[in-house]
Amino acid sequence: MTIQIFDLACRDERIYFSPYCWRTRMALKHKGLEFESLPWHFTDKDKIERTGEGRVPVIIDGETWVNESSEIAIYLDQAYPERPPLMKDAAARATARFIDAWCTTSVFPALRPICVLDVYKIIIDRDRDYFRSSREKMLGARLEDLSTDPEAERAVLNRTLRPMNEMLAHYPFLGGDEPTYADYVLFGTLMWADTVCPQNPIDPATHVAAWFDRLLDIYDGFARKTPRARD
Amino acid sequence: MTIQIFDLACRDERIYFSPYCWRTRMALKHKGLEFESLPWHFTDKDKIERTGEGRVPVIIDGETWVNESSEIAIYLDQAYPERPPLMKDAAARATARFIDAWCTTSVFPALRPICVLDVYKIIIDRDRDYFRSSREKMLGARLEDLSTDPEAERAVLNRTLRPMNEMLAHYPFLGGDEPTYADYVLFGTLMWADTVCPQNPIDPATHVAAWFDRLLDIYDGFARKTPRARD
């Protein structure tokens, strides 16, 4: 049975840009599970009311609803143990949690000045007031004032990614030879910029850029083929 | 046969404080290997000349010399496969490399203002000129000027440790249920402060403090029993 995913959408409902939804999209591809996206907008809180949270991703798998991307990844491994594991043991789950928290504390703060205004430009009209007021409150600045020096902001992002870059000098993925859920956590985070921004801010000369390319290519180019706002 | 480790020492040669040597010390305990420390000082470059590097840890295992803490950990797993693995697969090695690079880019910069002057105070006289000039050049400030607001510096350190703290809300170690080399990489880094500073700067209310305590306790309290400069 096809899994359904409430997936954050734009005016153009072919474009999916949520970093958390991208984690789940890649997780579903990794497990080889069929899924379809249900376009969801920030002001569609009522559609996912039964989760008790106002955020996506939320998946519906038969009778089961699961929300929050980390919980969805754990659920998929439990519900489909015969398929390739996203996290094969507690060490892999701990690593994915660490990378998730590192994204929260380090990578997202570096991405926000780069991405947030571009998100605002592509979402549907009825989402805009909510998005502007919630983000301006969180970030303490007008959306239009978040980015002041794009080149410096890209430099901060690439400096923030240095631990990943150093690791990738030795191994192709956080999972070692193959991607694991920890890879998708960071990849999804960076897909935020790749889907909404005029250009991908990752320094193309880095190992991170090569790793990002590898993950654009896997699953028959699933992530590479997704429409971008810049297209 | 007992492995020997060139181990960075103070005036008081019972005190070992090098964060990189502590990674190796914990790795050797994890593998259950007997070892003895050869007290080494910054100006003892000639003793380890054959490694082509001027840094410790360096281990001597029979006829084999191995330097650089990451390489030593990989060597120990290869040379002693019948003993508990430090990193059981490529995913564990990739995670350890990531944590190592995260320490380099984030944790050490937060620790330096807290630790460096305390190191200077406890090393032997003939190491002091080398230590002062190399560190002042690296850090662009006099050792006495590195710390300006100890409370703020501890706050920065604990904020830097947030990804670890968040992960530890879910799992007891980066290795999941048991420590793996990635745990020792961060633990060794933090032992720098615990061995040289008047007080450990980790916020005692955090999961990181509880995890640090667990690692002080393992191997019959090996790290807890080591002499500190403050004793």
d(CA A89, CA B151): 39
Average pLDDT over residues B190-214: 98
Answer for the pair B177, A94: CB distance below 8 angstroms, yes or no: no
Cα nearest neighbour of B96 on chain A: A167
Residue pLDDT, tens place only, A142-151: 999 999 999 9
Kindly list the residues from chain B whose CB atom is less than 8 angstroms away from the CB atom of residue A166: 97-98, 100-101, 104-105
Q: Judge if pTM exceeds 0.95.
A: yes
3-state SS, residue A230: coil
Residue pLDDT, tens place only, A71-105: 999 999 999 999 999 999 999 999 999 999 999 99
Kindly list the residues from chain A whose CB atom is less than 8 angstroms away from the CB atom of residue B100: 166
- Note the pLDDT of residue A99: 98
d(CA B110, CA B147): 11
What Cα–Cα distance (Å) separates residue B20 from each residue in B51, B161, B190? 16, 18, 10
Instruction: Note whether B167 contacts A97, CB cutoff 8 Å.
Output: yes
Answer for the pair B16, B41: CB distance below 8 angstroms, yes or no: no
Average pLDDT over residues A110-116: 98
Average pLDDT over residues B18-30: 98
Q: Given CA atoms B3, B9, B15, B19 in this order, what sign does their dihedral have?
A: negative
d(CA A126, CA A136): 17
What Cα–Cα distance (Å) separates residue B48 from each residue in A17, B15, B52? 53, 20, 8
Summary mean pLDDT of chain B:
97
Kindly list the residues from chain A whose CB atom is less than 8 angstroms away from the CB atom of residue B182: 95
B94 touches chain A (CB under 8 A): yes
Ordered by start, the domain boundaries in chain B are 3-79, 90-223
- Note the pLDDT of residue A192: 98
Answer for the pair B58, B65: CB distance below 8 angstroms, yes or no: yes
Spell out the SS3 assignment of chain B. Answer: CCEEEEEEECCCCCCECCHHHHHHHHHHHHCCCCEEEEEECCCCHHHHHHHCCCCCCEEEECCEEEECHHHHHHHHHHHCCCCCCCCCCHHHHHHHHHHHHHHHHHHHHHHHHHHHHHHHHHCCHHHHHHHHHHHHHHHCCCHHHCCCCHHHHHHHHHHHCHHHHHHHCCCCECCECCCCHHHHHHHHHHHHHHHHCCCCCCCCCCHHHHHHHHHHHHHHHHHHHCCCCCC
Answer for the pair B54, B8: CB distance below 8 angstroms, yes or no: no
Structure tokens at B185: 């990489």
d(CA B25, CA B14): 14
Instruction: Note whether A171 contacts B105, CB cutoff 8 Å.
Output: no
Residue pLDDT, tens place only, A121-158: 999 999 999 999 999 999 999 999 999 999 999 999 99
Q: Do you know the residue count of chain B?
A: 231
- Top residue of A86, A97, A157, A185 to mutate, by most chain B CBs within 10 Å, is A97
Burial of B197 (0-12, 13-18, 19+ CB in 10 A): buried
Please name the residues between 103 and 142 in chain A that touch chain B, using a CB distance below 8 Å.
104-106
Amino acid identity, position A187: F
- Percent pLDDT > 90 in chain A is 99
- For the domain covering B3-79, report its CATH number: 3.40.30.10
Amino acid identity, position A80: Y
A84 touches chain B (CB under 8 A): no
Instruction: Note whether A175 contacts B104, CB cutoff 8 Å.
Output: no
HSE-CB at A69 with a 13 A cutoff on CA atoms is 27
Residue pLDDT, tens place only, B82-108: 999 999 999 999 999 999 999 999 999
3-state SS, residue A25: helix
Partners of B132 in beta bridges: none
d(CA B72, CA B64): 11
Residue pLDDT, tens place only, B42-54: 999 999 999 999 9
Cα nearest neighbour of A104 on chain B: B163
Question: With b meaning 16 or more CB within 10 Å and e meaning fewer, what string describes A181-212?
Answer: bbbbbbbbbbbbbbbbbeebbbbeebbbbebb
Residue pLDDT, tens place only, A165-178: 999 999 999 999 99
Answer for the pair B193, B161: CB distance below 8 angstroms, yes or no: no
In this structure, how many other beta carbons lie within 10 angstroms of the beta carbon of residue A65?
Answer: 14
Please check whether the domain covering B90-223 is classified as CATH 1.20.1050.10: yes
Q: How far is A183 from chain B (nearest CA, A)?
A: 11
As assigned by CATH, the class of the A90-220 domain is mainly alpha
What Cα–Cα distance (Å) separates residue B6 from each residue in A140, A190, B35? 51, 42, 11
Summary mean pLDDT of chain A:
97
3-state SS, residue A205: coil
Residue pLDDT, tens place only, A181-203: 999 999 999 999 999 999 999 99
- Note the pLDDT of residue B1: 82
- Note the pLDDT of residue A146: 96
